[in-house]
Structure 1
Amino acid sequence: MSHHRLFFRAASSALLLIALSIELIDELVDGASGAAWPSIRSELSLSYLEVGLLLGLPTLLSILVEPAMGLLADAGWRRRLILGGGSAFTAALALLAAAGGFWPLLAAWALFYPASGAFVTLTQAALMDADPGRREQNMARWALAGSLGNFAGPLMMGLFVSAGAGWRPVFVLLALVSALALLAAWRAPALLGPSGPQTETASLRALWQDGLDAARSALRRADVRGALLLLECANLLLDVLRAFLALYLVDAAGSGPAEAALAVAIFTGAGLLGDALAVRVLERVAGARYVWWSALAAALVFAAFLLVPSVTAKLILLAALGPLTSGWYAVLQARLYGLLPERSGTAVALGTLGSALGAGVPVLLGLLAQRLGLEAAMWLLLLGPLALLLGLQRAAREAAR
């Protein structure tokens, strides 16, 4: 094997390790913060309105800022944005640990969310660019790292709180770990992409206009629009189902709150197992084929989940559904990057806009549940796997032509 190929493999492995560490930390923060809200609200005497603002306003700010960062990343600013975002990410965690009231918390979260977009999402783009032939496999590893973080974060927070240490040391620890990940990224500048020669000569306005033109051009393509749509459709049996699962079991299926909580834990744990299996499966099976067959099986299992009256049977079917939906995000997100091989930042920007539109789905589902009942509204989630079946089949026919 030549020295060049050995260097490329070592560089790709190093970037993979750095990228997975950054994603793991981000999801540890997400899981830990979700579990910390009762303690934070009690200690700082926050109202439910203030908690809602703390959760909603930073998310809105991130949605507004992330597309611009994606476009600037393609203009040669990726390394600067990743390292700057990592610095802000670490600082925000330290501010969270020290916050003494609503306004300091709001400032910390308002810094954290856009910083996460720069540090985490653009690192994902760098990973996709580093080894185009293994996008699906590396995205599967990315999804597994995220699932591990989301699973371990609440456990870590629970251990600290139950030991009497409180929620603040968890964010201090995460800030320290984040600083280590940032140092690793900074020491591997070539892996994050050069600043780009045009950055030094072109004005920011010209670079921004170039990015906007590229985004408009990408959106004119039917395959790109289809890829964005499929990502949001896949989410119907992922985050949207998880959000409504406990409510459905209590209000429509007649279970108790404890059983509903168990169902969420089963679905999350089964998804984590599925993410681990997807890493191995995608080494052997083409991603589109894997998603098509798993979508077919998921549609049948979810329909059975809605039809069976027994809560125990529903829990068993949830345990089967979790692994079936694993790998969807990895394959579909890798497909979007593959459609825009020289514009990974544009893929990030368009993906953020698609997610912003997809944020209206829970609202629509809630409105339908209000009018038709939650049980009837849940059947609409079947549109997710059905759209994957039709969309991937159509894409395969077009590719064959």
Structure 2
Amino acid sequence: MFVRSIFARLSRRKVSAYPLLLCMGLIDEVSAGIPVVALPLLRDHLGLSYAQIGLLFTVAALSSMLLEPLMNLYSDRGSKKRWILCGLLVLATTDIIIGNATIYLVLLLAFILSAPAGKAAIGLSQATVIDAAFGEETRTMTRWTLLSGIGDSLSPLLVATFVTLRLGWTELYWLMAISWLSVALLLAPLRFPTHAGPAVLPEKQDKASPWSNLRDALRDPLLVRWAALSLIPTMLDEVFLGFVALYLRDIVHISEAGIALIMLLQMLSSFVGLLLLDRVLKRRNLRPVHLLTLLALTTLLGMVVLLFAHTLWLTILALLVISGSCAGWYPIAKAEAYACRPGSSGLVRTVISLGAPFEMALPGAIGLISLNFGVLAGLGVLGLAPLLMLALLPYRQER
């Protein structure tokens, strides 16, 4: 009765879910980092081989790649609240299964269900806050990315704390299950924000088939271009950091402790870059194309120094410049993609998700290049990212 009374009061007061939805990226990054950071705990928990561990992440990515476009496409037909709440409940259930599984097949099925559930809960939370931020898409995406970065840094700390307390894989996943269930209970009575600006599509198109809307969106060259631009930052994300670590060890000959310190400095540089971007967006009315051009040129300068100057201090300086300048690529590009179709964030996410095969193939492709031509060649291919950004920016197109 007490819980029901609280829910009723929150519903009557129409408390907005916006602040909690904005923090979903932070919670997700903490959760997503656990199976990566705690892999030794999982291996010891079930005695898994390297191949079995790799298969878990592969099938999860494939499941997400197949189901995410469908969920995004149909989420625009009404409130995204039910999609988000269902995703949270499935996440809580699968986390309980993952934490307590004793059979590999059960663990595999839980990973298959967990990945698309996460896309529904987290991805559509992002879409909801973007719909409510008409005209402020870039600042909203910058804040989302900054909060996500904080969550990413908290994940190793959480795992280390659990290991120190002699708690393991099961306890970690029970904590995450409780967290997802708590978020669902908090969100259930709250008022979800609605689209704050005019819809770009005529009313008759809102009633059209989602597939016809998708075909129409794919014929929009500006949307497709921004969708492609939102994928390019993947080249300078986790894959780049992983091969930078190998470069620092094999070419520059830095110790593991030194590499960890440099990675920490890179993370701090990204935070600073996002904070500065938020300040710039607040005080100056700069066109996204001009801002991205400046950031891409700065990143390109850092990449040239990284690839051709192999002294320690220049390498560290180049990595800090790259991390600080490329941090703003993703929020700006994705915000512009959303802005191409106001009120149709699910449709925009569907177009962007069609690039998932690129993200899946990238680590393996860079690995093969590095195997055959050396780690510096692999970094060189990833270093093409700022050139791709500059080549694809829509300098002459206005939305």
Cα distance, 1:118 vs structure 2: 0.6
Cα distance, 1:25 vs structure 2: 1.2
User: 2: CA distance between counterparts of 1:382 and 1:64?
Assistant: 29
Give the alignment's TM-score, normalised by structure 1: 0.86
Question: Is residue 2:182 matched to residue 1:180?
Answer: yes
User: 2: CA distance between counterparts of 1:152 and 1:100?
Assistant: 28
- Give percent identity, aligned residues only: 28
1:358 maps to which residue? 359
For each residue in 1:242-300, what CA deviation from the matched residue of structure 2 results, as whole angstroms up to 9, or x when unmatched? 23221222334333444334333332332233333333232224343322211111110
User: 2: CA distance between counterparts of 1:192 and 1:38?
Assistant: 43
**CA 153–117 in structure 1, closer or farther in 2 if over 3 Å, else same:** same
1:227-242 correspondence to structure 2 within 5 Å = 227-242=226-241
User: 2: CA distance between counterparts of 1:65 and 1:59?
Assistant: 10
Q: Which is helix-richer, 1 or 2?
A: 1
User: 1: CA distance between counterparts of 2:274 and 2:154?
Assistant: 15
2:3 maps to which residue? none
Moved more, 255-264 or 170-179: 255-264
2:5 maps to which residue? none
2:295 maps to which residue? 294
User: 2: CA distance between counterparts of 1:59 and 1:334?
Assistant: 24
Question: Is residue 2:350 matched to residue 1:349?
Answer: yes
Cα distance, 1:65 vs structure 2: 0.3
User: 1: CA distance between counterparts of 2:116 and 2:378?
Assistant: 33
1:2-401 correspondence to structure 2 within 5 Å = 14-76=16-78, 78-191=80-193, 210-285=209-284, 286=286, 287-392=288-393, 395-399=394-398
Cα distance, 1:71 vs structure 2: 0.8
**CA 134–77 in structure 1, closer or farther in 2 if over 3 Å, else same:** closer
User: 1: CA distance between counterparts of 2:335 and 2:106?
Assistant: 37
Cα distance, 1:319 vs structure 2: 2.2
**CA 223–272 in structure 1, closer or farther in 2 if over 3 Å, else same:** same
1:97 touches 1:169 (CA, 8 Å); kept in 2?
yes
Supply the RMSD in Å over aligned alpha carbons: 2.5
Specify every segment of 5 or more residues in structure 2 that has no aligned partner in the other structure, as ranges: 1-12, 196-205
Deviating beyond 6 angstroms after TM superposition, the runs of 4 or more aligned structure 1 residues are: none
Specify every segment of 5 or more residues in structure 1 that has no aligned partner in the other structure, as ranges: 1-9, 194-206
**CA 290–258 in structure 1, closer or farther in 2 if over 3 Å, else same:** same
User: 2: CA distance between counterparts of 1:388 and 1:320?
Assistant: 17
Give the alignment's TM-score, normalised by structure 2: 0.87
**CA 100–281 in structure 1, closer or farther in 2 if over 3 Å, else same:** farther
User: 1: CA distance between counterparts of 2:316 and 2:356?
Assistant: 29
| SS of corresponding position for 2:76 | helix
For each residue in 1:75-95, what CA deviation from the matched residue of structure 2 results, as whole angstroms up to 9, or x when unmatched? 236332111111111222222
2:45 touches 2:169 (CA, 8 Å); kept in 1?
no
User: 1: CA distance between counterparts of 2:16 and 2:146?
Assistant: 18
Cα distance, 1:209 vs structure 2: 8.1
User: 2: CA distance between counterparts of 1:272 and 1:34?
Assistant: 22
**CA 14–209 in structure 1, closer or farther in 2 if over 3 Å, else same:** closer
Q: Which amino acid aligns with 1:235?
A: T
